């Protein structure tokens, strides 16, 4: 893809056109004080582009302009330009624009060597001086020479016309019809013009697309590829798709997906701001639900989101999202959400790109949703869709806008094509697929890649509920991954096992307690027996000690009594007496 590098300002003075995108392609505008040729076939937009050049100059750059028409009258031009939002009559009254219609009758033109454009020069000079015009348009040059067949006269007068415009110092646009083998019918205008812009109106697959190409631009760098342009109520918009470079800043800020369990799979924080995300999967897997949840999450944070739908109308999206607990209508009313629903066949790919580009610049969103991009394959090939998405992603990254795409996988072939073309462009890729088991269909989500961050490599069951989206852990059973009722059955079995385990533990605790009680009872009995024996032994010992003490006491008493009656008595004697 061609890159228009940022260079130093050109030494060639330029006049900005004010036409969206055209000044970027021309690196500043048309050559100031020089003639520019805009050529193309009928219906390609030559007159409208020339008129917008005059109107933008008068309203935005304070440069009055003269529009000299050879085909349409002033009132016809006024009515026609109202479709672009231009009030030509008001600008004429304010003397910012002068519209002059010149009627040329072929029968009045005589082919003589004296034929010249002096009358035109006088009329044009008066118109320029009357309002101090800086810009001039001649539409179209073929009518000026329609009655001439002498090629030498035509060439001489053409050179004189272009030189006169240069001498007058006005920035001029001259429109011309496309020739058979040349850019113009005369085949000379493109050589004497300093800048040549070719407009084409093509029809492919019953879809029309307008294209612009700068054939030459003396003294200035410019884009050389073809550029699509759109004509609508706001005028002409040209998308400089090839001027986009890879110089954008990469943000480290993270934005939530709107689903907490999905944020947890993305390091707990979500995606990077300004990144591109792809949600792919088969029909019915919930891709749109993820996209609308992401959009609602952005609006809840107070950010603006624009949702491009190529499948469902706005009312369908609002109705369907209510089933998962999302109220997008309040975000539309608050001005944070804009839903742009259209059929893919409304435009060609390039025109869709121009339309998306224009709406984004007007709405200035923080988040963009495109749902689904695979519908665009109906109007272009895989490679053409990839080229369009490269341009769109580059533009959004340069604006630090987060974009989420959804892609429908119809079969393995389309899935492989999606993987090889679209998934390689994005920063994060989430795959939602069907998991069929146990006689039912469930959803599983994978994070295939997420550049620059830690992310889960596990498969999670994706559940859509009345209260939003949820990701739950899947169970790995003997026969593989368990989801849905099989997972719930496994959960119940594990719960029953926990209950049984608790019951068994309770029974064992009771048995241990009973045995402990028995053991403690036996210990108490043995202790009681031991205390009884110990008491018996102590009683015997006590009785013996008491008896001994009593005997000793008696002996001392008897001895004391005998000694008091007969004096000292020999103990042996006493014993013998006894």
The model's pLDDT over 400-416, given as tens digits with 9 standing for 90+, comes to 899 999 988 765 444 44
SS3 26: coil
Please give the full DSSP string across 142-193, using - where no structure is assigned: HHHSTT---HHHHHHHHHHHHHHHHHHT-EEEEEEE--SSSSSSSS-HHHH-
Cα-based torsion angle of the residue sequence 13, 18, 24, 30 in order, rounded to the nearest 10 degrees: -30
What's residue 426's pLDDT? Answer: 87
**Phi/psi of residue 457, each to 5°?**
-105, 15
Give per-residue pLDDT as tens, 66-97.
999 888 888 888 888 887 788 888 999 999 99
Q: How confident is the model at residue 173 (pLDDT cuts 50, 70, 90)?
A: very high
Lowest mean pLDDT across 102-116, 298-312, 516-530: 102-116
Q: Token digits for 142?
A: 């073929």
What's residue 537's pLDDT? Answer: 83
How far is residue 574's CA from residue 578's CA, in Å, rounded to a whole number?
6
How far is residue 50's CA from residue 72's CA, in Å, rounded to a whole number?
13
Lowest mean pLDDT across 142-156, 276-290, 395-409: 142-156
CA distances from 130 to 112, 123, 139 (A): 32, 11, 20
Of the chain, the percentage scoring pLDDT greater than 90 comes to: 22
Give per-residue pLDDT as tens, 260-270.
888 888 888 88
Nearest alpha carbon to residue 222 among 198, 245, 243, 237 = 243
| CB 289 within 8 Å of CB 469 | yes
Nearest alpha carbon to residue 435 among 425, 424, 443, 427 = 443
Between 369 and 221, the more confident residue is 369
What's residue 329's pLDDT? Answer: 92
Residues forming a β-bridge with 442: 435
Lowest mean pLDDT across 31-45, 402-416, 451-465, 535-549: 402-416
Which residues are CB-contacts of 83 (< 8 A; sequence separation ≥ 6)?
233
Give per-residue pLDDT as tens, 481-495.
656 566 666 666 766
How far is residue 190's CA from residue 405's CA, in Å, rounded to a whole number?
43
- Count of other CB atoms within 10 angstroms of residue 511: 10
What's residue 111's pLDDT? Answer: 46
Q: Where are the alpha helices (DSSP H) in 214-313?
A: 260-265, 287-300
Q: Token digits for 445?
A: 């989500």
How far is residue 318's CA from residue 315's CA, in Å, rounded to a whole number?
5
pLDDT greater than 90 at residue 228: no
Q: Which regions of the chain carry the CATH code 3.40.50.300?
A: 14-243, 254-472
Q: How confident is the model at residue 113 (pLDDT cuts 50, 70, 90)?
A: very low
Give per-residue pLDDT as tens, 51-65.
999 999 999 999 999
pLDDT greater than 60 at residue 570: no
Q: Token digits for 143?
A: 């009518």
What's residue 131's pLDDT? Answer: 92
| CB 460 within 8 Å of CB 431 | no
pLDDT greater than 80 at residue 153: no
What's residue 4's pLDDT? Answer: 45
Q: How many helices (H) and strands (E) are present in the chain, helices listed first?
A: 17, 24
Q: How confident is the model at residue 105 (pLDDT cuts 50, 70, 90)?
A: low
Lowest mean pLDDT across 141-155, 408-422, 485-499: 408-422
Strands (E), 262-366: 271-272, 276-281, 305-309, 337-341
SS3 228: strand
| CB 394 within 8 Å of CB 239 | no
Between 401 and 380, the more confident residue is 401
| CB 313 within 8 Å of CB 341 | yes
Which residues are CB-contacts of 371 (< 8 A; sequence separation ≥ 6)?
287, 288, 291, 307, 308, 309, 310, 311, 405, 406
Nearest alpha carbon to residue 239 among 275, 209, 267 = 209
pLDDT greater than 50 at residue 109: no
Of the chain, the percentage scoring pLDDT greater than 70 comes to: 81
Angle formed at CA 198 by CA 23 and CA 84, multiple of 5 degrees: 60
SS3 465: strand
Tokens 């991009």 belong to which residue?
A: 373
Q: What is the DSSP letter of 20?
A: B
Does 14-243 carry CATH code 3.40.50.880? no
What's residue 112's pLDDT? Answer: 43
Give per-residue pLDDT as tens, 445-467.
888 888 888 888 888 888 888 88
What's residue 32's pLDDT? Answer: 92
Classify 254-472 by CATH class: alpha beta
What's residue 479's pLDDT? Answer: 58
- Count of other CB atoms within 10 angstroms of residue 63: 21
- The b/e string for 184-217 (b: 16+ C-beta within 10 A; e otherwise) is bbbebbbbbbbbbbbbbeeeeeebebbbbbbebb
pLDDT greater than 60 at residue 185: no
Cα-based torsion angle of the residue sequence 320, 323, 327, 328 in order, rounded to the nearest 10 degrees: -20
What's residue 500's pLDDT? Answer: 72
């Amino acid at each position: 893809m061609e890159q228009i590098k940022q260079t130093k300002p050109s030494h060639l003075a330029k006049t900005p056109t004010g036409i969206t995108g055209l000044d970027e392609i021309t690196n500043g505008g048309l050559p100031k004080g020089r003639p520019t040729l805009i050529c193309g076939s009928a219906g390609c937009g030559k007159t409208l582009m020339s008129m917008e050049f005059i109107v933008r100059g008068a309203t935005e750059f304070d440069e009055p302009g003269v529009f000299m028409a050879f085909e349409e009258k002033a009132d016809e031009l006024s009515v026609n330009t109202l479709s672009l939002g231009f009030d030509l009559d008001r600008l004429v009254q304010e003397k910012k624009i002068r519209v002059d219609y010149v009627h040329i009758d072929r029968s009045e033109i005589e082919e003589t060597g004296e034929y010249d454009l002096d009358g035109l020069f006088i009329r044009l000079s008066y118109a320029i001086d009357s309002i101090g015009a800086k810009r001039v348009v001649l539409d179209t040059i073929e009518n000026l020479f329609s009655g001439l067949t002498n090629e030498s006269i035509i060439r001489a007068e053409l050179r004189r016309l272009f030189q006169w415009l240069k001498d007058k110092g006005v920035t001029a646009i001259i429109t011309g019809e496309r020739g058979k083998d040349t850019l113009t019918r005369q085949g000379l205008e493109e050589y004497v013009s300093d800048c040549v812009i070719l407009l084409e109106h093509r029809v492919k697959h019953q879809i029309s697309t307008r294209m612009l190409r700068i054939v030459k631009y003396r003294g200035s760098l410019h884009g050389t590829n073809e550029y699509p342009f759109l004509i609508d109520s706001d005028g002409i918009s040209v998308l400089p798709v090839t001027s986009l470079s890879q110089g954008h800043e990469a943000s480290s800020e993270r934005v939530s997906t709107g689903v907490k369990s999905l944020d947890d799979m993305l390091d707990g924080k979500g995606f990077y701001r300004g990144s591109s995300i792809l949600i792919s999967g088969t029909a019915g897997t919930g891709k749109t639900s993820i996209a609308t949840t992401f959009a609602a999450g952005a609006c809840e944070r107070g950010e603006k989101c624009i949702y491009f739908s190529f499948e469902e109308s706005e009312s369908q999206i609002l109705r369907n999202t209510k089933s998962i607990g999302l109220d997008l209508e309040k975000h539309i009313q608050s001005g944070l959400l804009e839903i742009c629903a259209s059929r893919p066949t409304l435009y060609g790919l390039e025109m869709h790109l121009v339309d998306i580009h224009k709406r984004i610049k007007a709405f200035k969103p923080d988040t963009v949703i495109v749902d689904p991009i695979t519908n665009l394959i109906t109007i272009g090939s895989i490679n053409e869709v990839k080229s369009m998405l490269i341009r769109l992603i580059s533009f959004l990254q340069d604006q630090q806008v987060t974009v989420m795409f959804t892609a429908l996988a119809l079969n393995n072939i389309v899935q492989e094509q999606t993987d090889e073309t679209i998934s390689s462009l994005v920063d994060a890729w989430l795959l939602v697929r069907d998991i069929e088991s146990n006689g039912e269909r469930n959803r599983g989500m994978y994070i295939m890649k997420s550049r620059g961050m830690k992310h889960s490599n596990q498969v999670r069951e994706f559940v859509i509920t009345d209260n939003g989206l949820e990701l739950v852990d899947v169970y790995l059973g003997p026969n593989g991954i368990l989801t849905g009722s099989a997972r719930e059955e496994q959960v119940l079995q594990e719960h029953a096992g926990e209950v049984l385990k608790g019951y068994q533990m309770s029974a064992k605790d009771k048995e241990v307690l009973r045995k402990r009680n028995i053991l403690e009872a036996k210990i108490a009995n043995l202790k009681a027996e031991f205390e009884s024996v110990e008491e018996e032994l102590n009683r015997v010992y006590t009785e013996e000690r008491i008896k001994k003490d009593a005997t000793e006491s008696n002996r001392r008493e008897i001895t004391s009594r005998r000694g008091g009656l007969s004096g000292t008595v020999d103990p042996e004697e006493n014993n013998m007496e006894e």
